[in-house]
Structure 1
Amino acid sequence: MRTAYSVSTVRAAEQALMARLPEGALMQRAAAGLAAACTDVLRRGGRVYGSRVVVLVGSGDNGGDALYAGARLARRGAGVLAVRVSPGRAHAGGSAALRAAGGRVVDDDAGPAEGRHRDWGRRVDLVVDGITGIGGRGGLRPAAAALVERYAAHGAPVVAVDLPSGVEADTGEVRGDAVRADATVTFGAYKPGLLIDPAAERAGALHLVDIGLGAELPDVPDLEALQYADVAALLPVPGAGSDKYRRGVLGIVAGSARYPGAAVLAVSGALRGGAGAVRYVGPGADAVIARHPETLVHAGPPSKAGRVQAWVVGPGLGDGTDAVEAVCDVLSADVPVLVDADGLRLLDAAVVRARTAPTVLTPHAGEAAALLGVPREEVEAGRLDAVRELASRFRATVLLKGSTTLVATHGPRTPVRVNPTGTSWLATAGSGDVLSGLTGSLLAAGLAPRDAASVGAHLHGLAARHASDGSPVAAQDVAEAIRAAWRDVRA
């Protein structure tokens, strides 16, 4: 499992470790890992010897890491130029080490007497971003942004030190200009902003350098991302004595005369997600049976449809009187309930908070904004805060859909989960309906709400990759590819 820790937690761990190490040892560990990653990048483009490396440095320890790494590259024959963002201000020890190795340290506004470093923009093989560290707040200052643009404009790969300068380490927010890196070398632990958009999409490929923080970090992280092995361990597998009822029966209330396809897609996701049986209630019964004749259909109300282990309500439901009554009926059931799409607009927040059985809400940014009463842009800019607030306000598990899907629950000291799978082609009509059915089937199989939401998002994103393979994909394609994703994870 990939875990991430807040800035305050990482800083406390660093302080505890530095108290037991010789002065500067931790920075040297970081610099060694950074130099190794930069060497790999340079080798992919040619070689280290004779290459040109520009190191953009701020005045803090982040710049020190970059300067010491630059010194290591210079000793291997690279031409290394360090450009100080703030004139005359940079880590003294790192600056001395780079100069001793044959590199140069200049100011951004240096004149000809300090070397024509601006000419390097004509050929640069690597740019190292060491401007701000994990303590940075807000976007880049104008001078720093202009410096980044100048050297990145020539197409050289950019490696960020610890995280791209200008992004928020704790939240993934981008509040102004920020570096867009091809790779980020982070030290000791991942930071939440490296895993959450919009900052995550600026980080590029992630490289974690072990600097010895492990024993100093708490057992419970702030953020975690399931990997294949974690998902495989959670997947429900029927035993020899299983029957369709023991595997889990999922009830689905979805679709309308206007949106019958939503019912079909939700049922498709549920059947591919391992439900032993699906009970469908709604006006889309004919369309559902035509596509999935194994579905059990009922005219309603949901409470009269028969026994289920979980409900999904909302996809394509509309907003008529029947829809309102259906949502109320499902929320009164003493089994886990997943509410999506139209169901989110029709639910009563007080009813959700009062439920004793688990509730899972699966909004996209627009729906989350409506539930919170804030502009959509506020949710998109601060996804981590939004998903935590929703989980707390509704006392529910919340799956916030988007380019990085987040899963939060209202329980104390429970890490938010971020889903690492998916593709931009997944932004297509009906894909959320498939996710609802898939996640609902995992709830019916007995997975805890947080696990069901996390595994559902993981399989859904992986299925989209399988179905797309770099090309456009439709929601039904994603549903069909769930089996391939399941096999992939199990293998």
Structure 2
Amino acid sequence: MIRAHEVAQVREAEAVLLARLPEGALMARAATGLATALVELLGGAYGRRVVLLVGPGDNGGDALWAGATLARRGAQVWAVPMAERMHPAGLAALLGAGGQVVDPGALGERLEDVRVDVVVDGIVGIGGRPGLREPAPEVLELLAGVPVVAVDVPSGVDVDTGETPGPHVRADLTVTFGTGKPAHLVDPAAAACGQVRLVDLGLDLPEPAVEALTATDVAALLPVPDPQAQKYTRGVVGVRAGSSAYPGAALLCVAGAATGLAGMVRYVGPAAVAERVRQAHPEVVGAGRVQAWCVGSGGDDEAAEALAATLADRVPVVVDADALAHLPESAADLPADASWVLTPHAGELARMLGCRREQVEAAPWRHARQAAQRWQATVLLKGRSTLVVTPDGRTRSSSTGTPWLATAGAGDVLTGLVGALLAAGLSPYDAASVGAWLHGDAATRASAGGPLQAGAVARHVPESVRRLLAGVGESRHE
């Protein structure tokens, strides 16, 4: 499990650890980890040119100490101050190792005949306010195109919310300390982090604010049938999807549901669409008792009626696409025992909450939590990093997948997949989290680095499951 903690949680844990360690020991651990990551990125230190952008706090100190290590190993290191003061001990260490301080105003001239290998962003620490102040934006412009390594988080992002309300650094690699932070897992800040590397500091931490499942976690949650299993005990998932206008949505939603994770799939919908479903999926049957429903994908004008019929069964429900527009105003108008997974993309969530899509994209976690509380549902907000949020605020982020997954019908497959996991007995939170992870992993396999169609995602889910159960989850998802 990848865990991310808020600033206050980290600060409290650091204070406890600092009380037991000699002065400077914690910064030494962080700086050593940062220096190691830089050397690995650069393929060595000797002869490399490194620019440190140094703010006044401990992140600036980490950058200075790491820079001193690189300078002792033969790198040319320049520290460019981003504030009036720099960490005194770190600065002394850098200068003692042969590093230099370069005034921001003189940097442009220095760069005319010099190629810089890496920029270290130590401008703002995790306690800083979002946004960047001068001279940082101007200096970053001078260094455009040079790989950036951020210390702890890219400067300028909101660490606790993942929002980016002002100018901020975009890093190729972020080296963080002790634990992940929400900004590493929640967009849009997560998109600015690049690859994230954790340096363990030995912190004793509480429950995280956000977490991300690894391949090992997903394998442990998969509904594996026991030797006495039969199709009904493995769960029956019902699908109410598609319409005369969008029959393909039914086929894709059923394809996601019929990936083998539940024992049976039932389809209920227009007769012409049902015939196409039977031709494509002869194992799918008609109406009957189910343990979970999927509703709304391609539902068009029939979505309201389908949602009402689904609610009458009082089993867990995945609500997607057109059915989202017919939700009641709040959980007060739902059955007391309703169990929901809502699967909007940013535009759908904006319509549900009466705001603009741009507002959701700028603050996805905040809006997903708002919806989860309003409808007392688990919300799966689709995006580059998919968020799964419960009414009590528990949050998981999933970044498996590929940009090629942004294709018509992929969400219909995801709805069916989550519905099958619900029918198999997973909680709404686990079903949505595992479904999002598997959906992205299967898409990556189907894509193989190139374009894909939504149906291919469903066909590759069994392969993803087999690899997980065999213990060969790929490291990119760890």
Q: Normalised by the shorter chain, which TM-score bucket? A: over 0.9
Match runs of 1:198-217 below 5 Å = 198-213=188-203, 215=204, 217=205
CA distance in 2, matches of 1:183, 1:367: 32
Shift of 1:273: 4.6
3-state SS, counterpart of residue 245 of structure 1: coil
CA distance in 1, matches of 2:49, 2:112: 8
Q: Is 1:339 equivalent to 2:329 in the alignment? A: no
Query: Do the aligned partners of residues 243 and 349 (structure 1) sit closer, same or farther apart at CA in structure 2, a change above 3 Å counting?
Result: farther
Q: 1:226 aligns with which of 198, 201, 213?
A: 213
3-state SS, counterpart of residue 437 of structure 1: helix
Number of the residue aligned with 1:4: 4
Q: 1:459 aligns with which of 438, 450, 454?
A: 438
Number of the residue aligned with 1:367: 348
Q: Is 1:66 equivalent to 2:71 in the alignment? A: no
Match runs of 1:319-334 below 5 Å = 319=301, 322-334=302-314
CA distance in 2, matches of 1:11, 1:82: 27
Instruction: Please say if residues 316 and 338 of structure 2, whose CA atoms lie closer than 8 Å, have aligned partners that are also in contact.
Output: yes
Number of the residue aligned with 1:489: 468
Number of the residue aligned with 1:78: 75
Number of the residue aligned with 2:263: 276
Shift of 1:121: 6.7
Identity percentage of aligned residues: 58
TM-score relative to the length of structure 1: 0.92
Q: Is 1:294 equivalent to 2:283 in the alignment? A: yes
3-state SS, counterpart of residue 197 of structure 2: strand
CA distance in 2, matches of 1:78, 1:323: 64
Match runs of 1:75-474 below 5 Å = 75-86=72-83, 88-110=84-106, 118-119=110-111, 122-151=114-143, 153=144, 155-213=145-203, 215=204, 217-218=205-206, 220-283=207-270, 284-297=273-286, 305-319=287-301, 322-350=302-330, 353-411=334-392, 415-474=394-453
The amino acid that maps onto 1:398 is: V
The amino acid that maps onto 1:267 is: V
The amino acid that maps onto 1:274 is: L
Q: Deviations over 1:56-84 (max 9, x none)?
A: 11111111110011011111111110000
Shift of 1:99: 0.5
Instruction: Please say if residues 108 and 142 of structure 2, whose CA atoms lie closer than 8 Å, have aligned partners that are also in contact.
Output: no
TM-score relative to the length of structure 2: 0.95
Instruction: Please say if residues 35 and 70 of structure 1, whose CA atoms lie closer than 8 Å, have aligned partners that are also in contact.
Output: yes
3-state SS, counterpart of residue 124 of structure 2: coil
Number of the residue aligned with 1:300: none
3-state SS, counterpart of residue 93 of structure 2: helix
CA distance in 1, matches of 2:330, 2:39: 57
Instruction: Please say if residues 273 and 439 of structure 1, whose CA atoms lie closer than 8 Å, have aligned partners that are also in contact.
Output: no
The amino acid that maps onto 1:240 is: P
Instruction: Please say if residues 277 and 295 of structure 1, whose CA atoms lie closer than 8 Å, have aligned partners that are also in contact.
Output: yes
The amino acid that maps onto 1:315 is: S
CA distance in 2, matches of 1:60, 1:273: 53
Shift of 1:184: 0.5
Where do 5+ consecutive residues of structure 1 fail to align?
298-304
Q: Deviations over 1:382-422 (max 9, x none)?
A: 111111111111101111111100111113xx530001311
Number of the residue aligned with 1:302: none
Shift of 1:350: 3.9
Instruction: Please say if residues 48 and 78 of structure 1, whose CA atoms lie closer than 8 Å, have aligned partners that are also in contact.
Output: yes
Q: Deviations over 1:463-487 (max 9, x none)?
A: 0000001111110011111111111
Q: Number of residue pairs matched?
A: 467
Shift of 1:378: 1.0
Query: Do the aligned partners of residues 2 and 140 (structure 1) sit closer, same or farther apart at CA in structure 2, a change above 3 Å counting?
Result: same
CA distance in 2, matches of 1:487, 1:254: 28
CA distance in 1, matches of 2:194, 2:330: 42
Q: Is 1:19 equivalent to 2:19 in the alignment? A: yes
CA distance in 1, matches of 2:394, 2:11: 19
Q: Deviations over 1:99-121 (max 9, x none)?
A: 011101232124xxxx9862367
CA distance in 2, matches of 1:353, 1:109: 62
Provide the aligned C-alpha RMSD in A.
1.5
Larger displacement relative to structure 2 (95-104 or 349-358): 349-358
Q: Deviations over 1:28-77 (max 9, x none)?
A: 1111110111111111xxx3111111101111111111001101111111
CA distance in 1, matches of 2:103, 2:15: 31
Q: Deviations over 1:401-454 (max 9, x none)?
A: 11100111113xx53000131111111000000000000000000011100000
CA distance in 2, matches of 1:420, 1:446: 24
Where do 5+ consecutive residues of structure 2 fail to align?
471-478
Shift of 1:142: 4.4
CA distance in 1, matches of 2:285, 2:156: 53
The amino acid that maps onto 2:314 is: D
The amino acid that maps onto 1:178 is: H
Instruction: Please say if residues 85 and 107 of structure 1, whose CA atoms lie closer than 8 Å, have aligned partners that are also in contact.
Output: no
Shift of 1:202: 1.4
Q: Deviations over 1:87-142 (max 9, x none)?
A: x42111111110011101232124xxxx9862367311111110111122222224
